[in-house]
Amino acid sequence: MTKLASCLWVTCPIIIGAGPSGLATAACLKKKDIPSLILERADCIASLWKLKTYDRLHLHLPKQFCELPFMSFPANFPTYPTKNQFFDYLESYKNHFGLEPVFNKTVVSAEFDHRYGVWRVVTLGPEQEQIEYVSQWLVVATGENADEVMPFIEGMCDFGGPILHSSFYRNGRSYQGKDVLVVGCGNSGMEVALDLANFNARTSLVVRVEISDN
């Protein structure tokens, strides 16, 4: 049961999401002496990087193209930092700018109140307590890959083996000597397939090809 909501007036911008974009937005505001309130549904910053990525993940672009505003990567980092190095960088970034996200606040709605010219942002906490934050400004920085998308594939219900989304994959150690089908050839699909092959899994890769009439 959801507990009764409390209502908090926020005199600064609300930022939803404590990933790289949310942290960068807060830092840019702070450089102009504008505070912000960062709401994050997880219990840590950059939860996608910390909780939903495979072990071998590195940045896919050179580090100079991935650094956040006003703070470069450490000089001793490789050209393509590991996921742990990137997370450490984000943690240092947060501390350097004194950012203090409010964790375990899942935003369930965000609506603009035209009558009063404010945003009303409602969150749920771990005990289902509900809080409504009211502010004139709202920045949504939840990312495009925050939630996994598991498409329905004919025959899935009859398949006897495990079906795993890449956000739950860590490494191929437990797949050694097994037949594994990877669906998709994006960055994650290609790297997961390579990782499985390195762990001696019998790996196949399915690619959707768009055929043009031209």
- Sort strands 138-140 and 106-113 into parallel, antiparallel or unpaired: unpaired
CA–CA distance, 32 with 187 (Å, rounded to integer)? 36
pLDDT recorded at residue 113: 98
The low-confidence residues of the chain, meaning pLDDT below 70, are: 1-4, 211-214
Q: Where in the chain is the domain with CATH 3.50.50.60?
A: 6-140, 156-206
CA–CA distance, 67 with 57 (Å, rounded to integer)? 17
pLDDT recorded at residue 3: 64
Q: Which residue, 162, 164, 167, is CA-closest to 148?
A: 167
Pick 156-206's CATH classification: 3.40.50.1980, 3.20.20.60, 3.50.50.60, 3.40.1280.10.
Answer: 3.50.50.60
In angstroms, the Cα distances linking 32 to 9, 35, 139, 141 are 22, 9, 16, 19
pTM (2 decimals)?
A: 0.89
CA–CA distance, 25 with 37 (Å, rounded to integer)? 11
pLDDT in tens, 19-52: 999 999 999 999 999 999 999 999 999 999 999 9
Coil, strand or helix at 194:
helix
pLDDT recorded at residue 204: 96
pLDDT recorded at residue 211: 63
Q: For the domain bounded by 6-140, which CATH number is listed?
A: 3.50.50.60
